[in-house]
Structure 1
Amino acid sequence: MECQQRNLNPTPAAQVAMIIWGEEYSKQLGGSMDFWDGLSDYRKSRCRLVVKQLKTKNGK
């Protein structure tokens, strides 16, 4: 149940990953956070950077 809830509420960085690598995400068999868990540290850091830059740009 916790896994399902986690997949229903992806982090902002995981949402960015689903957009950037949407085709890859759609082909995998898991949920949003399952996809996130399978990404390399490099890809995760890129997504976190995008979120950070968006927050900075929007004054948050």
Structure 2
Amino acid sequence: MICPICGEKTRREYRPFCSRPCADRDLGKWLNGSYAVPSDDPEDLERALDEIDDAQQKPH
């Protein structure tokens, strides 16, 4: 099995990763929103557009 983060061979104690750092990087991607499941729900789209509008109106 190959680590999905770096491509190295996996180790049993970290499977499906090769090491703790790769497992932690994957967790970080989940926590910061890099991994997301797309939605076709119109309410989700409307909410996202509202959040973009709100962010653009805030002073930097």
When normalised by structure 2's length, the TM-score is 0.34
Bigger CA radius of gyration: 2
Structure with the bigger percentage of helix: 1
The one of the two structures with greater contact order (alpha-carbon pairs below 8 A, sep at least 6) is 1
**TM-score, scaled relative to structure 1:** 0.34
